[in-house]
Every structure is written in C-alpha cells, then in structure tokens.
Structure 1
Amino acid sequence: MRLADLAGKRVAVWGYGREGRAALAAIRRRLPEQRVTLLCSPHEAEQARPFLGDGVDYETTEPYGGLLWTFDVVVKSPGISAYLPAVVDARAAGVRFTSGTALWFAENPDARVIAVTGTKGKSTTSALVAHLLRHSGMRVALAGNIGLPLLELLDTDLAIDGWVIELSSFQTGEAAPVDVGLINNIFEEHLDWHGTRERYVADKLVLAGVARTLVANGMQPELLDRTTTHPARRLFGTVDGWHVADGWIWRGSQQALDIRQLRLPGEHNALNLCAALTAIEAFGLNPYMALPHAASFQPLPHRLQQLGELDGVTWINDSISTTPHATIEALRSLGGRAVTVLVGGHDRGVDWSEFRRHVSEHPPHAVVALGANGQRIAALLAEASPQYQLERRTGLADAVALARQLTPAGGVILLSPGAPSFDQFQDYADRGRAFAQLAGFDPQAIASIEGIGVA
C-alpha cells in the first residue's frame, strides 16, 4: 500500500509518538486534502491540535474493535501490538493496517537496503554498517528504529547510494524485499507485545524471508536451525567467516584487527563489527578497505557509554540494556573491576535465571535491583546465596545514592537494567539522562547519535 492508496479512504493514524507524527506529516505532504483521525490520549490530542490544525479529527478513547471498524485503513505506530484483540478483530472485519515502515518500503521499491534486527546490538551494528559504508565513499541514510522514522526521509532530494535501516521486532514484518537482512541474535524479549517467545522469534525471522542475502549469527544454534534453508546465507562469528578470537577480529584464518584499537568496549561489540563487515561484504563492497575506519566509530549513547569519573568512581550508562543477556555482556566487558550494577525496570515476565547463574559464577561488587520487577529479580538472586552485596530500591534516585555509598574508589557504577524503562520513564534515553544527572553529569551532553540521517 502506497500513500496515494489512502486517498478518499477513512484513515486513522494510531499513536502520536515520533512515528505517528511522521506518518501524519507524510500524509499531509502527499495528500493535503485527505482527512485523518488521530487515535491518541487526551494529553496527546492537546499537544497535537496547535500543530496539526484543520483536516484532523481526534479520538481519545482507548481503541476497540468496534471503533477501528469505522476506518478503511489504520496507520499503526510500532509500539502498539499487532496482537491486541482490537487489532485482530478489526483485521477480521476487513480493516487494513499499515505503518510508516511499510509505507516507506512501498514508496521506495528500488532502494538498496541493508536491514538490521536482533534482540541486542542492532543499533550499534546499524550505525557501524552506515559508518563503514560512508568511509567506502557512499552516501548513506541511517534510519528506522534507531531513532529517525523512515517517513521523515521520504521526500529527500539527495541521491542515496544505500539505506541502513534498523528494524525492531515490531517492524520486521513490515519490510519489503531487501538486499541484505542482518539478524544479530535472538533472545527472549518483548513478550508483552508478541505474547509468546515463539511468536517473538517468528516475527524476528520474517526478515530472513525478505532478505536476498541473509547475514546471521553463526554462534546461535536456534538461529542457524531456523535459517538453514535460506538460499544465500552468510554467517559471522564462525571460524570460516568474520569472527573474534584471542582479542582480534579475524576473517577465516586471517588476522585483521586488534580489538584494542576500537572505542567500542567488550567482545560483544567486536562481534557487532564482525556482523557489520559481513553485511557490507554481502552488499558487494570490500570489507578490508572499510575495516581501518572501525577505529574511528564513536559508541552510541546509552550503550555502555562511559560518562566519566567522579570521586574516584567510573560511571557507565547502559540504559539501552533491556534484556538480562545485555546486562551479562555489559558485566563481561568490565571483568576484573569492582562493579555495582543497577538492574530492573518494567516487568515483561522475562526469565532472569541466566543472569543469576552469571553473577553466581562471576560475582560483581554489588547488585541493586529496582523498578517494577526489582523485587522479583532480588528474590531470584537471593535464592542462590549471593557472594556479593544484594540490595533493593524502588526508584532510580535511591538506587544511585545507594550505589555511590557501596562502590569503592576505583570501582564502577553501571546502569544496565536488563528491562525496559516504561515503569518510571518515557524511554531508555529518558532513563539514561536521569542516571547521568543523578551521577553529576550533564544529561544533554550524552544524547546525540552520530551519523543518523543522510551523510
């Protein structure tokens, strides 16, 4: 479905976040006479009215099947689950659902695209791919789930050689065929949106079905098993491809780059680089020409971001960590240091048993559990008779104050929640800024993602 197909239809835009605003703006540019209904909260309606003016109606009640049936097409924001009963009922009644991502792909069938997804590391990997492509002489657009809706770049006048698009599990089903689809990894996440782990995995793997060439993590047996029939699959993390061993990046048996040259901390980020190199190789470029430029890549905000040192303690913001696996990788990257780690947030029912095993085998200095699932995490950790200090606090401010008391000089205070932020914050970036401010740093100085957009 293209934007022109909305003309004369009863159209609703569901959600007034950045994706919803981008969809409204695109419809207005392409179809200035088209009337649209915005489905949003009363507060969002108050925000929207001064900017949207005429041509927009507002529905501020919680959408239900009967309400959605009154529209021909609903442009849904990614955060709204496709499995809500109201959505399922409306689809069955003939209502068509689309999204900003789907509309962009329909408008750009000839775009050369590398699409990136994965439970963790997808933003860093996407930004790495764009960085390496640009240093290979290409004009590249970096957009999608990384923070810039695709529709905001819909009518750019620039000739773009390649698109690097980050897709969340909410968006993978909305992509059209892409030149390269990269699946970084799959762990358990977003069960509140997808309903079950199996559905989450299946939704992620939709990208494999639309990728002309699939790049996949060869270190994940489940991912290997589920993609074995792909006709053009390339693996990273295996000894015959781009992989990490003995502190180096390798291509097969060829030693390529000392990972100490990277500004990205941790072996997991070195593996993200292997994924990026495999993707640009699949895109038809020489990865060896791009590889030296990996050393100049700046880590993204809120991803193991070193804020600095105050009173002899190093503060690290890893607010983007929304799974226990991501928190484990953060702790691994800080091996040998006295770390107080702050975990917990919005409870999606994810299993923390693997985290418990990790901290039992590799005890940090302290764990402070907070947020809506903090009590559950603390109770699980306490069952293993922890060899580290285990504390529980409700809010981030109290957790930071306690961490400051617990952590010795030369130690690290790490915010790596392993959970979303929605219990107390608007999003992970809001949580990261709050952490920086509580620590004593300028929260506005850590916000920007280098390279987003067209360059």
Structure 2
Amino acid sequence: MRFDEPVLLYGAGREAISTRQFLRQIQPDLAVFVTADTGSAAIDGTAFIPPREIEQAIGERRFGTIVKSPGVSRYKPIFTHAAKAGIAVTSNLNLWGAAYRKNRTVIAISGTKGKSTTATLVHLMLVRSGLDAGLAGNVGLAPLDIADKHAITVFELSSYQTADMAFVPDIAAITNLYPEHVDWHGSVERYFDDKLHLVDREGSFAVALGSAAAGNGRVARAVRDHRRLVRELTPQEAITIEGAVAHSRLRGEHNLDNALLAAKIALAAGATMGGVLAGIAAFRPLPHRLEEHRIGTLTIVDDSISTTPEATKAALAAYPGRRIALVAGGHEREQDYGELAGLLAMRGVTVLVTLPVTGARLAEAARKAAPDLSVSQCPDLEAAIATLASIRDRFDTIILSPGAPSYNQFKNFEERGTRFVELCRTQFGTNLA
C-alpha cells in the first residue's frame, strides 16, 4: 500500500492517532494533514488545516485521500465535494481491510445494542477454546492497531463504520435493530441501511442474528439468502448456555440473548463448547454497561452506555423486584419514549428524575402513563442526584440509563457515567465499592 499524494485526517481522536501511526510505519515521508470540526486537532507529525479552509484545500488538491473518523458523518457536504474532485474518502477500518484482511478470519458484529458485550464474549470464547483471536473496533483497539497480530479478528462495529465498510467479513452478526444516530445518518431509514450494509451485500460470508434481529423483516431482507445463516444452537446447547449465564456476571434477559448469539458465532468460527462456557464465566461487565456499585444497602447501576429507550427497558428488566430510581434523558435524537413511560411502574420504578433535553418528553409521558410515579425534571445530573438524596427512602436501587446520548451535557457516555458514580459517592456515602 502506498499513497501518491498527501493524506488528510478528518477528526483527531483515537482512530486518527492510530491512522497517523500506521501511515508513519508504511510511508515515513508522507505528508499528513489533520482537521476537526470541534476540539483539539493536535496530532504529532501532521499539519493542521482549519475546517473552514477544507473546501479550498480540496480545490487546490492539497491531498489525495481523506481518512474520516467514525464520529464524522459521511453525509457532510464536504465529502460530496471531495468525491467530485476525485479525492478518495476512506477510514481506519477500510485501511485495515486493504492492508491486513487477506489470510485472516474476520468476524464483524454490529447492531443497535449489545454489540460490545457480544463481541467481547465471542473473543473470550475463542481464546478460551485455544484459538488465536484479537478484539478491535468500537471496543478494544482501533482496527489498524490490531494489524495482523491474530489469525482471527473480532470487530465490534458501529453504524458509522459499517456504512462504508469496503471488505467482506467471514462471519457478520447483527444483534438487533432500533432507530438511533439519526443526527449522523440524516434519517432513520438511512441509519437502518447503513447498519445493514454489513450483511446486505454480495458474498458467501456467514451471518448470525440475535433473537431481536431474527424477527425483524428488514434484517431478513438484508440477509438476502438465508442459507448464509449459521446453524442454530441445539436445545441442549441452549440450555447449557442458559445455565452458565445464570451463574455468571451477565445480568438480564438481553445479556442472555447476547450470550446465545455469541455462542452461535464462536462455534461457527471453531470454538468448543468448553471454550464457550469458559468465556461466559470469564466475562466481566464492560464499563458503563449495567456496571454495579454498592453503598451499604443501596445499589448504584451505571448504564450510561444506554442511548435508546430500548436499552433503558432492558436495564430495568435486569432488576426485577427492586424499588428503582431511574435517571434518564439526554441529547435529542427524536426517539419515542411512550412505550418506555408505560413500562416504568411495572418494572419497579418508584422515582423518575429526568435530564434535558429528552427528559422533558419522558417526564410528560410518564406523568400520563403512571400518575402515582414521583417525577422530577432536573437541569443537570448534579441536581438529579441531589433530588434523589432528598427522597432516599423511596428506592433501593438507582439506575442511570438515560435512553439518550450525552452530547448536550457531556463529551461522551463515559464522562457521564463516571460523573454519575462520583455524585452518588458524594451524596450517599464514601464507601462505594
């Protein structure tokens, strides 16, 4: 692989840094530029081009390739302008495909929710089966950082990455499909199409579907030929896996679904049943995904990764029999909270505190669906936790499961989850374990 013209990195986060290191390795003298719509764009060995000057730089042909970071929408008009000028637009993932795809088994896992847990489980199952497997993508390393280190590469991919994925995996998996990321994709329909680009293409690769995806007509059409589907688990295999999950740290029906899907994928890739069970036993909850903490008798659950109403419903279902204080709301993505509001009382929610912007709609819907529910609209997370501290006797569990992204108040879900735990530590005690 060689570039005949300079390269522009559009975005300056983890993947951009990874791409810069890769370019330095393969072509040390290559000129590399960087730009970013917001935040810092300081990457060693690059020259900065302000975003307002990119259109002019395209016209002057200052670079021949743009490597776009996942968070930058491929539907920005500047990329249409680049295409008309004959400038290629690619990604860290597609560069990995061009450099390292050959002679490697690739497992690519996507879906609206559950993809990180499923990919992590698949990796654990393969490794515990004695296979040489690595994990990359949204979870783990950036694609180019994993390079050619493993015979099997498991990728956890967002819709941002599947949208223009240029190579075909050996096994593609979809966990489920719900509306999300409308701001990036421009519409729900385009989000669905971009997500399902992982499976909706020519090729002889295998496909594995989670239970929710298997019952989705749009997914079924995208699979095209159902002879692609990996074999289903036998009844005995499913029972054995359910037993292993019951004794593991995987909580909730949705995580059982993730484990069953992971087992199908891993077995199709050569794992043993012993390795599958050992992988389940070795699993530890990922940060900010139903991550539990304790303060005396109070359970604190950080589910900040939750960015859809469906994820919040799954979080509540994972804690039957509890008196729950739910903290929800965040960045607006035009999602429907009506069904979630109707489920709150039956899922054990006794207190709802909401955050801007979507919290206003959830609060209104909750007041109509459950008039006896205590509902408070708060301006920020600090006020929400302070409100809960004033009514401590009404709950035994606090769950942060926003059902919305964090961007209006935090830079990412990790920052939101960390702040939530810190505030709970301050308000409810100092012995958080």
Question: Taking structure 1 as the reference length, what is the TM-score of the superposition?
Answer: 0.86
1:189 maps to which of 169, 180, 183: 180
> Superposed, which structure 2 residues align to 1:171-320 within 5 Å?
171-172=161-162, 173-208=164-199, 209=201, 212-219=205-212, 220-222=215-217, 223-234=219-230, 241=233, 251=237, 255-258=240-243, 259-310=245-296, 312-320=297-305
Query: What SS does the aligned partner of 2:103 have?
Result: coil
* Partner-residue secondary structure (3-state), 1:280: helix
For 2:352, the aligned partner's letter is V
In the TM superposition, what is the alpha-carbon distance from 1:218 to its structure 2 partner? 3.9
Partners of 1:415 and 1:43 in 2: CA distance? 27
Unpaired stretches in structure 1, ≥5 consecutive residues = 244-249, 447-455
* SS at structure 2 position matched to 1:107: helix
Q: Distance in 1 between matches of 2:315 and 2:221?
A: 27
Alignment correspondent of 1:16:
12
How far the C-alpha of 1:98 sits from its partner, in A, is 0.3
Which runs of 4 or more aligned residues in structure 1 lie more than 6 Å from their structure 2 counterparts after TM superposition? Answer: none
1:364 pairs with one of 340, 344, 349 = 349
After the TM superposition, which of the residue ranges 290-299 and 36-45 deviates more from structure 2? 36-45
Indicate if the aligned counterparts of 1:39 and 1:63 stay in contact, CA closer than 8 A.
Answer: no
Per mean C-alpha deviation after superposition, the further-off stretch among 261-270 and 372-381 is: 372-381
Give 1:435 deviation, angstroms. 1.0
The structure with the largest strand share of the pair is: 1
Deviations 1:272-323 (CA, angstroms, capped at 9, x unpaired): 000100001221333354224412311111100002224x311110011111
Going from structure 1 to structure 2, the CA distance change for 1:43 and 1:427 (only over 3 Å counts) comes to closer
Instruction: Find the partner of 1:73 among 48, 65, 68.
Output: 65
In the TM superposition, residue 143 of structure 1 has moved relative to its aligned partner by 0.9
Residue matched to 1:5: 2
Is the 8 Å Cα contact of residues 324 and 348 (structure 2) preserved in structure 1?
A: no
Cα displacement (A) at 1:224? 3.0
CA contact (8 A) 1:217 1:224 kept: no
Asked if the contact 1:139–1:162 (Cα under 8 Å) also holds between the matched residues in 2, the reply is yes
Once the two structures are superposed, residues 120-170 of structure 1 have per-residue CA deviations (whole angstroms, 9 ceiling, x without a partner) of 01111111011111110122211111142111222x6x4x23111100000
Quickly say closer, same or farther: Cα 1:79–1:211, change in 2 above 3 A: farther
- For 1:77, the aligned partner's letter is S
- Larger mean CA deviation between 369-378 and 91-100 belongs to 369-378
**C-alpha displacement at 1:66, in angstroms?**
4.6
8 A Cα contact 2:323 2:394, kept in partner: no
Secondary structure of the 2:198 match is: helix
Mean CA deviation greater in 422-431 or 73-82: 422-431
Per-residue displacement from partner, 1:357-383 (whole Å, max 9, x unpaired)?
A: 322544511111103322232233333
Over the residues paired in the alignment, what is the CA RMSD in angstroms?
2.5
The letter of the residue matching 1:5 is R
Amino acid across the alignment from 1:301 = P
- 1:262 CA drift (Å): 1.4
Report deviation, 1:255.
Answer: 4.8
CA distance in 1, matches of 2:234, 2:253: 13
**Aligned residue number for residue 359 of structure 2:** 374
Distance 2:38 2:287 in 1: 32
User: Aligned runs of 1:374-453 on 2, under 5 Å?
Assistant: 374-408=359-393, 411-440=396-425
Pairing partner for 1:105 from 76, 97, 101:
97
Give the Å deviation of 1:201.
1.0
Counterpart AA for 1:283: A
Q: 1 CA distance for matches of 2:188 and 2:241?
A: 37
Q: Are residues 289 and 80 of structure 1, via their aligned partners in 2, closer, same or farther at CA, if it must alter by over 3 Å?
A: closer
Separation in 1 of the partners of 2:286 and 2:234? 22
1:122 aligns with one of 111, 115, 119:
115
The AA in structure 1 aligned to 2:119 is S
- Aligned residue for 1:83? 75
* Inter-partner Cα distance in structure 2 for 1:113 and 1:207: 12
Residues 330-349 of structure 1, C-alpha deviations (whole Å, 9 max, x = no match): 00111211000111111111
**Deviation, structure 1 residue 437:** 1.0
- The one-letter code matched in structure 1 to 2:77 is P
> Is the contact between residue 329 and residue 402 of structure 2 (CA under 8 Å) also seen in structure 1?
yes
Aligned partners of 2:8, 2:96: CA distance in 1, in Å?
17
Separation in structure 2 between the aligned mates of residue 42 and residue 170 of structure 1, nearest angstrom: 18
SS at match of 1:382: helix
* Partner AA of 1:79 in structure 2: G
- Seen in structure 2, the aligned counterparts of structure 1 residues 67 and 384 have a Cα distance that, compared at 3 Å, is farther
- More displaced stretch, 98-107 vs 409-418: 409-418
The one-letter code matched in structure 2 to 1:152 is D
Secondary structure in structure 2 of the residue aligned to 1:105: helix
Name 1:35's counterpart in structure 2: 31
Q: Secondary structure at the match of 2:180?
A: coil
Matched with 1:164 is 154
Query: Structure 1 63/317 Cα, relative in aligned 2: closer, same or farther at 3 Å?
Result: farther
Rounded to whole Å, the distance in 2 between the matches of 1:411 and 1:215 is: 38
Q: How far apart in 2 are the matches of 1:100 and 1:80?
A: 13
Q: 1:328 and 2:313 equivalent?
A: yes
- Check the 8 A contact 1:302/1:319 in 2, yes or no: yes
User: 8 Å contact 2:126–2:133 — kept in the other structure?
Assistant: yes
